[in-house]
Amino acid sequence: MGRLRSVAPVLLVFATLFLADANSGDPTGFLANAASGDPTGFLADAASGDRTVSQSPPPEITALPRSLTPAETEALRAGNDFGLNLLRRLYAEREDERANVFISPLSVSMSLGMLLNGAGGETFNAMGNALGLNGLMVAEANEAYKALTDLLVHLDPSVEFRVANNSWLEEGFQIRRDYRSRLEEAFDAQIENVRFEEPDMAGAINGWVGETTEGRIRDLVTPEEFAGLVALLVNTVYFKGEWTDPFDPAQTATVEFRRADGSTVVVPLMGQALDARVGGGEDYGEDFVAVDLPYGGGAFSMMVVVPTGDATLAELVQGMDGARWQELVDALRGEARTEVRLPRFELTYEKVLNDVLKAMGMEVAFDASRADFGWMLGNAGLGVTPHIGWVKQKSFIKVDEEGTETAAATGTAFATSGNPVLQADRPFLFAIRERLYGTILFVGTVTDPTG
């Protein structure tokens, strides 16, 4: 297809949300809604009503519903690698060494995957290489995204997990029919024709984002960001899970958290003793300690990795890629009685990702003179060259003691000279992951729990 001409950008935005503060009554004012089970798996609408305290543990989830196809396995691996690469770069470019980082690899890769469907030529190759999808056909990648999301949404009924996609197109422009079909079929994304110059347009888009994230993500876009806008693609991810083994608030103590620069800040440190899978430790020749804390029936968990001794978070993140991450996961041993001390924290993260995505090889997609998204728009005669204007991710996480579900887990116990202890009173890495397939949903660093 011939290259279009102009400088009107395509805008791509991600919004992600994670909550781990599940409790009855929800003091934040947002109800813990139950996912509805949307048959496509891409937009599981929430049923209204407060979630009540459960008196019995949810069923333990220990087996996969089915095996992954080769394409799904490759897409999962690519998404994890891309997300960890993004984390390394965002962590390294921080201007304030106290700044936290929190991203959703799933959201970023899915959103760029939607845009990849409209790319051609050099732009397509650059985006595919950056995403690690160059070994897959577009149709294979689309099917993998759809199938993986459907599996994740329905994997654990006791955990609330939703993914939603939507797009808005400036009136007067046309989306190619085949591109529209791909977005609707693979990503369950609707395309709305709008006039971005309308004064209430930003409010309408922010309203949709708020609805799909239980009000946690607000003011994602502003009218000032709409200048020259042709199309806007938005992805949201919402997750809320109750600890399988909740922390007892009575065990929370105020302690000093030592930042990387040597300064300290007083934070509430949650504590409990539980049977958990742990990894690392000096007895095993490792300079880190890791623990895997499950949610609900155990299909999802938060994995916390704390450097020990003279090791630093910067060193841990610098060496983090898909292979190193898998080594950390494989280092988790069978369950043992473990003391876990984790800060109670609430973080908001917002970042324009243009520079880091360019550095990862996607510069052509942002270049008005070179970008090729001719497979997206059907307006060759209008003389417009769509390119990415900016890419933004905004995310929120809240972690506290509350939880109402309990479940037993199985494994092989290991011998130690004493109870393993994980005390996160220094900068640490964490990831919210799906444990059966290995999908990283969210990953971040905490260098200052006070935000």
> Radius of gyration over alpha carbons of the chain, in Å?
22
Cα–Cα nearest to 148, from 219, 202, 67? 67
State the amino acid at position 185 in one-letter form. Answer: E
Q: How far apart are CA 77 and CA 420, in angstroms?
A: 31
Name the β-bridge partners of 421: 339
- The 10 Å Cβ neighbour count of residue 167 is 21
Q: How far apart are CA 187 and CA 118, in angstroms?
A: 14
Q: How far apart are CA 205 and CA 114, in angstroms?
A: 18
User: Helix (H, G, I), strand (E, B), or coil: what is residue 29?
Assistant: coil
Cα–Cα nearest to 172, from 229, 245, 118, 90? 229
pLDDT tens digit sequence for 26-35: 322 222 232 3
Helix (H) / strand (E) element for 267: namely: strand 264-280
Domain ranges of the chain: 9-242+346-398, 249-343+406-446
Q: What is the pLDDT of residue 356?
A: 95
* Nearby residues of 295 by Cβ (< 8 Å), 6 or more positions away: 20, 156, 158, 159, 241, 242, 243, 244, 301, 302, 405
Q: What is the pLDDT of residue 358?
A: 96
CATH 3.30.497.10 is held by the domain 9-242+346-398: yes
Block residue for tokens 């011939």: 2
Q: What is the pLDDT of residue 222?
A: 87
Least trusted range by pLDDT, from 24-33, 81-90, 275-284: 24-33
Q: What is the DSSP string of 428-439?
A: EEEEEEETTT--
**Residue 447 confidence (pLDDT) above 90:** yes
Using pLDDT thresholds of 50, 70 and 90, give the confidence band for residue 226. Answer: confident
Q: What is the DSSP string of 198-248?
A: STTHHHHHHHHHHHHTTT-S-----GGGGTT--EEEEEEEEEE--BSSPPP
Least trusted range by pLDDT, from 145-149, 160-164, 225-229: 225-229
**Higher confidence at residue 371 or residue 400?**
371
Q: How far apart are CA 333 and CA 335, in angstroms?
A: 6
**Higher confidence at residue 57 or residue 227?**
227
Q: How far apart are CA 447 and CA 104, in angstroms?
A: 18
* Mean local confidence (pLDDT), 358-366: 95
Whole-structure pTM value: 0.83
**Higher confidence at residue 11 or residue 119?**
119
Q: Name, of 58-62, 200-204, 392-396, the range with top average pLDDT.
A: 200-204
**Residue 37 confidence (pLDDT) above 60:** no
State the amino acid at position 363 in one-letter form. Answer: E
CA distances from 376 to 84, 114, 185 (A): 29, 10, 15
Q: How far apart are CA 257 and CA 262, in angstroms?
A: 10
Name the β-bridge partners of 74: none
Same CATH fold assignment for domains 9-242+346-398 and 249-343+406-446? no
Cα–Cα nearest to 385, from 5, 117, 3? 5
**Residue 438 confidence (pLDDT) above 90:** yes
Mean pLDDT computed over every residue of the chain: 81
Q: What is the pLDDT of residue 335?
A: 82
Q: Which CATH architecture has domain 249-343+406-446?
A: Roll (2.30)
Q: What is the pLDDT of residue 109?
A: 87
